[in-house]
Amino acid sequence: MENASSSQQAALSETPSYFTQEELNKVNSEFETGGVENVQPLLEKKVKELDNTELNIAVTGDTGAGKSTFINAMRGLRSEDEGAAAVGTTETTMEPTGYTHPTLPNVRYWDLPGIGSTRFTASSYLKEMQFKKYDFFIIVSAGRFTENDANLAKEIKRLGKEFYFVRSKIDADLYSMRKERGEFDEDAEMEKIRSACVSQLGKAGIPDPTVFLISSFKKNMYDFSRLMKTLGDDLPNIKESVFILALPIFSNEIIHKKGEVLKGRIWMLAILAGGAGGIPITGLSIACNIGILIGAIIFFRECLCLDDAARSRLAERKGKSMEELDAAAPSPLLGKITVDVIIWLCKAFVGVSAFAAVVCYFPFVGYLFAAGSTFLVAYKVLNKALTLLMEISEKVHDFAKGAA
């Protein structure tokens, strides 16, 4: 087995984007002077910060523009799913309505009543809608952008927040054109629609706006991917990572983006698990070590839309059973994550014997093993589990596409 201390230092040398250089320097310094015990509190604090970071996204636009459908699409839900935003053409509320992400409770999409359906001016509207809580605004229109939309955008800009223009239901527009004209140049027509939106917004006082043409029902088409990339790129580092983990999976590229974000957490979790491994208190060592690994794998699975609820929704909308869906990529990682699953990962993929696995995870047998040895096993286990889950996610979602 490779030298554990050098592995820890190599892991620390990775510079995840959600660490400042000052934080990384402090972690390195603490590790050099006091080892794992000194580093552990700093990493626990960072992991809690990542878990507790909130992301609040405001979605506004006139009644019938497709706000609720867009919010559901971003949460991986359909209108009939439990917890979905109500879809309709009637404005049902005059207050912001928050919709929590199914697996990341600190991510919320807020359905704001369209300014055209209220008696507020743009400035008073933002005050009433609790402007400061939102990280950015998405202004949705199903037709031309109105003067209300433009006035709202100008007020948002004046107050220093980001906003994005979304022209929804582009698939319906193109369908209508096809029914009317037969064959036509789809890209050229989309460019005409985009140019018309930009022109209208320009006349209303929004210079050089970027307009995204999307369909909430066809996330792998039109500008949906470009919109997701832009939203993520414009967020600060930690919030960008949260946004990526909350994305619905509509392409293998999204799976790989999520994987890169999750991989950035592994070295921290492994050091926390490794630090626990050197404590000669049987109950505490077992609980910390196994608990960290199990919790991490469950979290990976949720972010990759492989939890039971997500797979059940996917199977139902494709007219398949859960068993049929899971058969596309059978794996113990789709069942209950237990100590036995951790041992299976160790024996099958980490190159550690069954006895060594027991030693690493049950300190009453071998707590004299250095904490670094436990770190090394934990690091390899989590990396392999993430790799396997990414592969499973690709196979499951590819199967679902084929079943569409």
For the stretch 207-223, pLDDT in tens is 888 999 999 999 988 99
C-alpha dist (Å) from residue 347 to 190, 271, 334, 356: 54, 21, 18, 9
Q: How far is Cα 268 from Cα 379, in angstroms, rounded to an integer?
A: 9
| pLDDT bucket at 365, cuts 50 / 70 / 90 | very low
C-alpha dist (Å) from residue 190 to 185, 216, 226, 280: 9, 16, 15, 66
Return the pLDDT at 359: 42
Q: Identify the three-state secondary structure at position 108.
A: strand
The amino acid sitting at 60 is T
Measure the N-to-C terminal CA separation of the chain; round to a whole number of Å. Answer: 46
C-alpha dist (Å) from residue 130 to 96, 112, 124, 158: 8, 10, 10, 16
| pLDDT bucket at 181, cuts 50 / 70 / 90 | confident
Most confident listed range (77-81, 139-143, 289-293, 331-335):
331-335
Name the E strands within 25-116.
55-61, 97-100, 107-111
User: Domains along the chain?
Assistant: 4-51+249-402 (no CATH), 54-246 (3.40.50.300)
Q: What is the mean pLDDT of residues 85-113?
A: 83
- How does the average pLDDT of the chain come out, rounded? 81
Greater pLDDT, 66 or 285: 66
Angle at 262 between CA 99 and CA 395, to 5 degrees: 85
pTM: 0.84
Selection from 315, 319, 269 nearest residue 290 by Cα: 269
Q: How far is Cα 379 from Cα 398, in angstroms, rounded to an integer?
A: 29
| pLDDT bucket at 404, cuts 50 / 70 / 90 | low
Most confident listed range (176-180, 261-265, 271-275):
261-265
Q: How far is Cα 324 from Cα 396, in angstroms, rounded to an integer?
A: 10
Greater pLDDT, 347 or 303: 303
Q: How large a percentage of the chain has pLDDT more than 70?
A: 82
Return the pLDDT at 285: 40
Helices (H), 35-99: 36-52, 67-74
